[in-house]
Homo-oligomer: A and B are copies of this chain.
């Protein structure tokens, strides 16, 4: 189970006919209001400066939640059409769907958060969506069937559905976090935050529910603190989408003690939220388009964590490195030279690179005997290849997770719309 496991949430999925394939393409997640509840919402969106209509609307809804306590009660997601590069008409279309859902759910349209993924630059098929809504609303329920249907309705090129579920105890109360996500291509999220409301990167969507009692500003602070080391630390193809979205809704039933900033409860909740977000991030990369294995890069010894992440990002995004990982090729020079392109100056004579347990490059010099080490061959054959680049120049560190580049990636993406 996932999104409907926390108290206060129902979900449903349907086939509205947006996808030519006839697969499920519409999902609704609803938060039910309980008397005395302490509800909250937090959202992060792409930093791409071209954004889908749902992102434009979602940013307004985030501000309303954080600043004015207007907590969304539903998320309406469609796959098959991103409603992006659709101008003002796109915003009107999204609002029409919000209004239709709200009328059935009997609350205000502004409390329905829209989210869309799929082909860019095509008008949203509003009539198909609104026609499917009555049955979708009628089928809202809790349990694993509902979670499965909800997750199916948000998938595009995903081969596997992505769920996460964690619990933590705060005092005598058990708090549950559930989540669904989609994402396989156009994956290189760089999410915004309240502190950085618009700055740029695939379509990944993640919808997280919790029965924690946490208000929007506190929930948003928790989310903003975990996105850099989770969703922003993965890349399939270094192409950030116009639609990347993470939405967290907290239902906070009356009996739950509220989680306040700066408390051990907040730290525990934040830790578990990070765990859920990283779990989803790993699932997304593992299911990356055409990916056969993942590649984890840890960079240490930089002056700052941000510098380390920039170098790690440059490494996992190099097509040459990705092909070498695909081919189990010990061509580590590609890793070192990719690092040198990150725009973060470092001294190669202090740099050392370890693949798995085998040091292949030490203080700027090749370790020739490493190439004959059987552990190197084993590491390169692993489902997850691990590289550690140490620059020996400071306390900074950062990690990124990527995947290999296969011929299948090309075939998936060479005829996506046609």
Please list the residues of chain A having a beta carbon within 8 angstroms of any beta carbon in chain B: 48-51, 82, 84-87, 89, 119-123, 185-186, 198, 200-201, 237-242, 317-321, 323-324, 326-334, 336-346, 348-349, 351, 360-361, 363-366, 368, 405-407, 409-418
B340 near A48 (CB under 8 angstroms)?
Answer: yes
Q: How far is the CB of A245 from chain B (nearest CB, A)?
A: 14
Contact A337 B410 (CB under 8 A): no
Q: Which of B48, B122, B329, B334 is close to A366, meaning CB atoms less than 8 Å apart?
A: B122
Q: Which of B51, B238, B336, B343 contacts A121 (CB 8 A)?
A: B336
The CA-CA distance from A345 to B358 in the complex, in Å, is 43
On whether the beta carbons of A329 and B415 are closer than 8 Å, the reply is yes
Chain B residues contacting A410 (CB-CB under 8 Å) are 323, 326, 405-407, 409-410
**Cβ A318 vs Cβ B238 within 8 A:** yes
Which residues of the partner chain B approach A201 to less than 8 Å between Cβ atoms? 341
- Residues in B with CB closer than 8 Å to A365 are 85-87, 89
**CB neighbours of A185 from chain B (8 A):** 320
A123 adjacent to B239 (CB under 8 Å): no
Q: Are B418 and A329 in contact (CB under 8 A)?
A: yes
A200 B417 Cβ-Cβ under 8 A: no
Q: By CB atoms of chain B within 10 A, which of A50, A201, A240 has the most? A: A50
Chain B residues, Cβ within 8 Å of A87:
349, 363-366
A185 to B337, CA, bound (A): 13
In the assembled complex, the CB of A365 is this many whole angstroms from the nearest CB of chain B, namely 4
- Contact call B417/A331, Cβ cutoff below 8 A: yes
Report 7 cross-chain contacts, Cβ distance below 8 Å, ordered by A residue.
A49-B346, A120-B337, A121-B366, A323-B410, A323-B416, A331-B417, A407-B410
Contacts of A324 in B (CB 8 A): 413-414, 416
A334 to chain B minimum Cβ distance, whole angstroms, is 7
Kindly list the 3 A-B residue pairs having the minimum CB-CB distance in the complex, ordered from nearest: A120-B333, A327-B414, A50-B340
Give the shortest distance, in Å, between A301 (CB) and chain B (any CB). Answer: 14
| Contact (Cβ within 8 A) B120 A336 | yes
Contact B239 A120, beta carbon cutoff 8 Å = no
Expressed in whole angstroms, the Cα–Cα distance for A338 and B122 within the complex equals 17
Contact B121 A409 (CB under 8 A): no
In the complex where A329-B415, A414-B327 touch, is A366 in contact with B319 (Cβ < 8 A)?
Answer: no
CB distance from A27 to the nearest CB of B (A): 22
Residue pair A416, B85 in contact (C-beta under 8 Å): no
Could you tell me the distance in whole angstroms from the C-beta of A272 to the nearest C-beta in chain B? 31
A344 proximity list for chain B (CB < 8 A)? 49
Contact of A348 among B85, B327, B328 (CB under 8 A): B85
User: CA A344 – CA B8 in complex, angstroms?
Assistant: 42
List of B residues within 8 angstroms of A340 by Cβ: 48-51, 200, 240, 242
Take A334-B239, A337-B50 as given contacts and tell me if A414 and B326 are in contact as well, using a CB distance cutoff of 8 Å: yes
Whether B407 pairs with A331 at a CB distance below 8 angstroms is no
In contact, B337 and A48 (Cβ under 8 angstroms)? yes
A272 to B47, CA, bound (A): 42
CB distance from A161 to the nearest CB of B (A): 23
Instruction: Kindly state the separation between the CA atoms of A253 and B240 in the bound complex, as whole angstroms.
Output: 54
Among B85, B321, B337, B339, point to the contact of A333 (Cβ < 8 A): B85
Residues of B close to A86: CB separation below 8 A: 365-366
A198 to B344, CA, bound (A): 12
Residues of B within 8 A of A239 (CB): 318-321, 334, 337-338, 341
By the criterion CB–CB under 8 Å, are A200 and B123 in contact?
A: no
